A = this chain, B = another copy of it.
Amino acid sequence: MQIITDIKKIRTIIAQAKRRGQSIGFVPTMGALHTGHASLIQKSRRENAVTVLSVFVNPKQFGAREDFAAYPREKNKDCLFAKKQKVDIIFYPSVNKIYPRSFLTSIKVDRITKTLCGRFRPGHFDGVALVVTKLLNIVTPDVLYLGQKDAQQCAVLKQLVRDLDIPVKINICPTVRENDGLAMSSRNQYLTPKQRREAPVLYRALRDARQKIQNGERRTARVIKHIAALIRHNSSGRIQYIECVNADTLQPLQGLRGEVLIALAVWFGKARLIDNIIVKI
Task: Name A's interface SS.
Answer: mixed
**A97-129 with Cβ < 8 A to chain B:** 102-112, 129
**Interface residue A137 (Cβ < 8 Å from any Cβ of B):** yes
Measured between beta carbons, the chain B residues less than 8 angstroms from A109 are 104-105
- Docked CA distance A75–B140 (Å): 34
Q: Does A225 contact B (CB under 8 A)?
A: no
The answer to the question of A281 belonging to the interface, with a C-beta cut-off of 8 Å to chain B, is no
Would A134 and B165 count as touching, CB distance under 8 A? yes
Bound together, the chains give a CA A104 to CA B163 distance in angstroms of 7
Query: What's the nearest-Cβ distance from chain B to residue A112, in Å?
Result: 6
- The answer to whether B107 and A107 have CB atoms under 8 Å apart is yes
Question: A141 to B160, alpha carbons, bound, how many Å?
Answer: 21
Please report the C-alpha to C-alpha distance between residue A129 and residue B129 in the assembled complex, in whole angstroms: 16
A165 touches B108 (CB 8 A): no
Q: How many protomers of this protein does the assembly include?
A: 2
Interface size bracket, A side: 20 to 34
Contact with B along A232-276 (1 / 0, CB 8 A): 000000000000000000000000000000000000000000000
Q: In the complex, A82 Cα to B171 Cα: how many Å? A: 39
Chain B nearest Cβ from A245, distance in angstroms: 15
- When chains A and B are docked, how far (Å) is the Cα of A166 from the Cα of B105? 12
Pairs across A and B, CB under 8 Å, 12 listed: A7-B165, A104-B109, A104-B111, A104-B159, A105-B107, A105-B110, A105-B160, A133-B164, A137-B165, A137-B166, A137-B167, A138-B167
Interface residues of A (CB under 8 A from B): 7, 11, 102-112, 129, 133-134, 137-138, 140, 159-160, 162-167
Task: List 9 additional A-B contacts (Cβ < 8 Å) besides A104-B109, A105-B108, A106-B108.
Answer: A102-B159, A102-B162, A104-B111, A104-B112, A105-B107, A105-B109, A105-B164, A137-B165, A140-B167
